[in-house]
Amino acid sequence: MMEPLYVAGRSPLHRLPAWLKLAALVAAGAGLFVLRDPRWLGLAFALAAILVWSTGVTARAVWRQVRGLLWVLLAVGLFTGWFQGWNDALAVVLRVGAMVGLALAVTLATRTSDLIDVCERVLKPLERIGLVDAGKVALALALALRFVPEIWRNFQEIREAQAARGLGAHPVALIVPLIVLTLKRAQEVAEAIDARSP
Amino acid sequence: MLIEFDQAVVATPQAEVLRGVSVTLAERRIGIVGPNGAGKSTLARLINGLVLPSAGSVRVNGLDTRHDLKAVRRQVGFVFQNPENQIVFPIVREDLAFGLKNLERDKALRETRIDAQLAALGVGHLADRTSHTLSGGERQLVALAAVLVMEPALIVFDEPTTQLDLRNRNRVRRAIAELPHDAIVVSHDLELLEDFDRVLVVRDGGIAADDAPAAALRWYREHCA
């Protein structure tokens, strides 16, 4: 099951303000695309790994979060290596790995509500000129984050229920009940939000 | 707290869920029982304005749920059967802050009230836990804390102990018994309602019995079992 990423702690990364972490993440993301030398990218990857480790998260939890990505990285690496050479492939894999590591470190050390507060503050100027409702966008973001693990869990349950009845993994047979379940749950959560929104 | 149902009807295109209910509720502890599909949850939802009457009216302390919805919701908290639906944010503390933030209270005050509320329910140690790691009983207590932190005068519970094992059921029962608030509890857990002031039996979209717990629950066992 996918889990919420935040790990409670008092590491230096935990103590930094959320806006600074997000700003640094954006800057690092842009910077990583400027770097081409695998040695520098390797250094960035190592730094990202140290930051993840500094949050106090267990290796098993990190593995659960990133194992799906390894296949993607492998495919991207092989594809790039085949067409552009293995030096470029190493650079691409290290760049994406470093980016994911930095993003993981930020989300491990920052509460969802703090991240959403930053988004809300960033959107405030747009709200003043009538383009968006910052509060609603922030809530939508929070709900999207909330529903990711839940949809995944529902998917697993439906797949197990169908397997128990001897059915194979047919996409339509999986997707239709998943959509129905998700919409039903979304309606129930909306009702709960209504009840708590005086 | 005074709740007045006046010929309240709830109709859907398929059926009439409640058929002109008229009743006045003023006791501290009121239980609602009835068979599945009888209209219990709909009756409870009318009090918080989650469902609005198709005809007739529901008034909470004189406020009409149709016209004064915000004011009604400030006074009436609602605890759902499945706490998973009620918990919006992944961390317990964040979830309690969600409702308070809607009232635009400052952050320090929010944190103080959240800690005090969780401690009052004996779950202060869960403040920084992720909700998916909690047991069913802990989740229900967190959902209750999220409602209590908003300081409502009345709390409506919709089958709060249905999904819980015996130990967690007892924890939630104790928490409800110790609440200083007025409470209306929809439940199939008849033991929970035995010490209440009044019990309504809902059947076929109407109130079939309305009495002290002993008499109402006896009627329920004789006619609806």
Span A56-102, pLDDT tens digits: 888 888 888 788 888 889 999 999 999 989 999 999 999 999 999 99
- The overall average pLDDT reported for chain B is 90
| Domain range annotation of chain A | 12-122, 133-196
How many whole angstroms separate alpha carbon B88 and alpha carbon B99?
10
Q: Do B89 and A142 touch (CB under 8 A)?
A: yes
Q: Do A142 and B88 touch (CB under 8 A)?
A: yes
pLDDT digits (tens, 9 = 90+) for A144-186: 877 877 788 888 888 888 877 777 767 788 888 889 888 888 8
Q: Are B28 and B69 in contact (CB under 8 A)?
A: no
Q: Do B88 and A192 touch (CB under 8 A)?
A: yes
Chain B, residues 38-67, CB within 8 A of chain A, namely 48, 50
Chain A, residues 122-161, CB within 8 A of chain B, namely 142-143, 145-146, 149
ipTM of the complex: 0.74
Q: Give the pairing of strands B55-60 and B3-11.
A: antiparallel
Q: Do B91 and A3 touch (CB under 8 A)?
A: no
How large is the average pLDDT for residues A13-37?
92
How many whole angstroms separate alpha carbon A66 and alpha carbon A47?
17
Enumerate the residues of chain A whose CB falls inside 8 A of the CB of residue B130.
3-4, 6
Q: Do A146 and B88 touch (CB under 8 A)?
A: yes
- pLDDT given at position A2: 41
- pLDDT given at position A177: 87
pLDDT band at A1 (very low <50, low <70, confident <90, very high): very low
- Please give the radius of gyration of chain B, using alpha carbons only, rounded to the nearest integer: 17
How many whole angstroms separate alpha carbon B40 and alpha carbon B201?
8
Chain B contact present for A17, CB below 8 A = no
Instruction: Tell me which of A114 and B213 has the higher pLDDT.
Output: B213
Burial pattern B157-189, b for ≥16 Cβ within 10 A else e, equals bbbbbebbeeebbebbbebbeebebbbbbbbeb
Most confident of A125-139, B94-108, B208-222: B208-222
- Please give the radius of gyration of chain A, using alpha carbons only, rounded to the nearest integer: 20
Range scoring the smallest mean pLDDT among A42-46, A55-59, A87-91, B115-119: A55-59
